[in-house]
Amino acid sequence: MARLSIEHLRKVYGEFTAVDDCSIDIAEGEFLVLLGPSGCGKTTTLRMVAGFIQPTAGKITIGERDVTNLPPWKRNCGLVFQSYALFPHMTVAENVAFGLEMRKIAPADRAPRVTEALRLVRLTGLDERYPRQLSGGQQQRVALARALAMEPDVLLLDEPLSNLDAKLRQEVRVEIRDLQRKLGLTTIMVTHDQEEALTMADRLVVMEKGKVRQIGTQRELYEKPADRFVAGFIGRSAFLEGEAASGRFRSGGGLDITCKAATSGPATLALRPERLAIGAEAESCANRFPARVEHVSYLGALLDIDVRLTEQDRILLQVPNRQGAAEPKPGDMITIGWAEDAGLVYPREP
Amino acid sequence: MSVARPSLGRLALNGAATLSLGFILMPLFFVVWLAFFRQEIPSFPPEGYSLKWFQAAANNKPFVDGFILSLQVGVLATLIGLVLGVPASLALMRHRIALGPAINTLLLLPLVMPGIVLGTSLYVFQIETEIATGLPVLGSLGGLVAAHSLVVIPWVVKLVTASLAGFDRTIEEAAQNLGAGPWTTFRRVTLPSIRPGLVAGSLFGFVTSFGNLEMSLFLVGPGRTTLPIAILQYLEWKIDPTVAAASVIQIVLIGAAMIVTDRYVKLSRVV
């Protein structure tokens, strides 16, 4: 295992910049997740690390080795493909042994390593099956075993769970994470599934339109989103548009809000739905406004409430579904409130 | 209780299928039957049955020589067809080539071009080449093999492109990711995946070459005739069942080749 460093990586296709000045450092044994909407450049980045796409500019280093100009077969990155890409004409054992064979390891020495790799992914005894005889989850594990058997410097996972059903996805998620920890694998995973990213990663990289928007832990991304995009992408946020000036924010609908604004001028205020209080609990808040309930979604443990503050200002709040508490109904007038530091202010993006 | 009865449409379809199949198998049936007639002039009903015509065919030197030449030409032409056709299919399927569809059509053209036209043009071409280079082309084994390669290529291209169409290229990337260079990737991953098309293409190419008459007529030289031409020449003088016996041997050999091939590659799936 080795550390991986990506410096000022760029990929341009004609007029289109797929990845723009992307720099990421991944520590030895770290699980890093590239997260972003489709077309954000995360897969392109992963494929550049694997060597399938030649970067326009930038540098990729694995351990001490500059691999930027090496072909895929000289990089020693274990890649698990979204479609698994198992060799259909080879048995499970032959699939797993392929990487070892390519490394000129004697057949006698391959067998124990194949057995070990299959044991790790809990597929012992399926050596002689063909991929078509396996379920989707089993195929996924063979792909993982095949990548692990060759003892790669880094493990790359390209949406590895997207072809599994929801229940299996949960299981495999935990399995991959445990295995990654146990073996101390430096890992990059690409996904567009937030929950997957949040539960598996040590650190996350949020990408959009080819750019890295923010790198950080789950907590950092959620508590201190670097910009409006991240605030909306990681978890949910309600946004109010308006003007910021010296610790105040005036919304488009005329609300005067106390906040910790660092900027002034046209701005967006982001509020996390669960950081808002209603009724009596709102009394002690720095910001208190009357609001009309527009819609209530019953989610069991929680209630999602859409409220309107003014013609232009709408907010989503999430409150615990407490026993005995009166459930607001559409049309009710309620008081909502939030603390001074609950609102995050971002300069309005052009 | 109602008994499931085949509908009228179903009956009509089965009837039509039976008729068509009978129509296709009729010549085959008569050739085989005729090969066992005892009398020299084919007439019905047969006067009796005999195996002597098989012996006559085996002892007929032009037939034996023709068979050997056809075999040589067929095998060589198939090999050349593969060497040219497989890379062509890969290039057509994988890269955006200027005029790609036009080139594809061009490669399939020998299949639809009348043999006489193909033979005449190759005849003229080979004579011109001889005049220009002074090398013996017309009537040589090389000239014949070159021409036959032309009728093999369409089969190879047609069937290999078909098997490439459903091929998932990420398994090639997987191989490279595991440390296989381009050649190893082709040999270990791509080739096994297109093998059905390869085998079927070779088989049909070979059979087409082996049975080719019209084109070959223009290109064979003295003392160098393929089996179909030897049979034709024999028929000009005699119509005894020797020809039928030779045909039966041919049918059995090709049939056996298809059955053996089908064990490894399901022909019904690729054609």
Statement: residue B101 has pLDDT above 70 = yes
User: A51: which chain B residues are within 8 Å (Cβ-Cβ)?
Assistant: 176
d(C-alpha B262, C-alpha A106), whole Å:
35
**Mean predicted lDDT score pLDDT of chain A:** 88
pLDDT value of residue A327: 80
Enter the tokens of residue A343: 């609102």
Statement: residue B38 has pLDDT above 80 = no
Q: For an interface test with A, give the residue of B172, B178, B184 to mutate (most A CBs within 10 A).
A: B178
Q: How confident is the model at residue B271 (pLDDT cuts 50, 70, 90)?
A: low
Q: Which residue does chain A place closest to B195, by CA atoms?
A: A89
pLDDT value of residue B3: 57
H/E segment holding residue B77: helix B61-94
Instruction: Please write the tens of the pLDDT for every residue from A7-37.
Output: 999 999 988 989 999 999 999 999 999 998 8
Statement: residue A324 has pLDDT above 80 = no
Query: What is the distance in angstroms between the Cα of B92 and the nearest Cα belonging to chain A?
Result: 21
Q: Which residue does chain A place closest to B174, by CA atoms?
A: A85
Please list, residue by residue across A47-83, b when 16 or more beta carbons sit within 10 angstroms of its beta carbon and e when fewer do: bbbbbbbebeebebbbbeeebbeeebbebbbbbbbbe
pLDDT value of residue B4: 62
Statement: residue A46 has pLDDT above 60 = yes
Provide CB contacts within 8 A for B61, sequence distance 6+: none
Instruction: Please write the tens of the pLDDT for every residue from A249-259.
Output: 888 888 888 88
Statement: residue B176 has pLDDT above 90 = yes
**Mean predicted lDDT score pLDDT of chain B:** 86
Instruction: Please write the tens of the pLDDT for every residue from B190-201.
Output: 988 888 888 888
d(C-alpha B9, C-alpha A299), whole Å:
57
Sheet of A65-66, strands arranged across:
A16-26, A4-13, A57-62, A65-66
Enter the tokens of residue B251: 């049918």
Residue in A294, A345, A333, A300 with CA at minimum distance from that of residue A315: A294
pLDDT value of residue B2: 54
Q: Taking a C-beta distance cutoff of 8 angstroms, is the pair A68, A59 a contact?
A: yes
- Average pLDDT for A323-340: 84
Query: What is the distance in angstroms between the Cα of A211 and the nearest Cα belonging to chain B?
Result: 26
- Average pLDDT for A144-166: 89
User: A76: which chain B residues are within 8 Å (Cβ-Cβ)?
Assistant: 179
pLDDT value of residue A350: 67
**In Å, how far are A100, A138, A214, B211, B213 from B152, measured between CA atoms?**
39, 43, 59, 12, 14
Task: Choose among B177, B180, B181: nearest Cβ to A77.
Answer: B177
Q: How confident is the model at residue B221 (pLDDT cuts 50, 70, 90)?
A: confident
Task: Please tell me which residue, A282 or A157, carries the higher pLDDT value.
Answer: A157
Provide CB contacts within 8 A for A271, sequence distance 6+: A237, A238, A239, A240, A315, A338, A342, A343, A344
Statement: residue A323 has pLDDT above 80 = no
Residue in A340, A349, A347, A350 with CA at minimum distance from that of residue A243: A347
Query: What is the distance in angstroms between the Cα of A85 and the nearest Cα belonging to chain B?
Result: 5
User: A91: which chain B residues are within 8 Å (Cβ-Cβ)?
Assistant: none
Question: B180 and A86 in contact by Cβ < 8 A?
Answer: no
Residue in A244, A275, A274 with CA at minimum distance from that of residue A259: A244
Statement: residue B108 has pLDDT above 60 = yes
Statement: residue A112 has pLDDT above 80 = yes
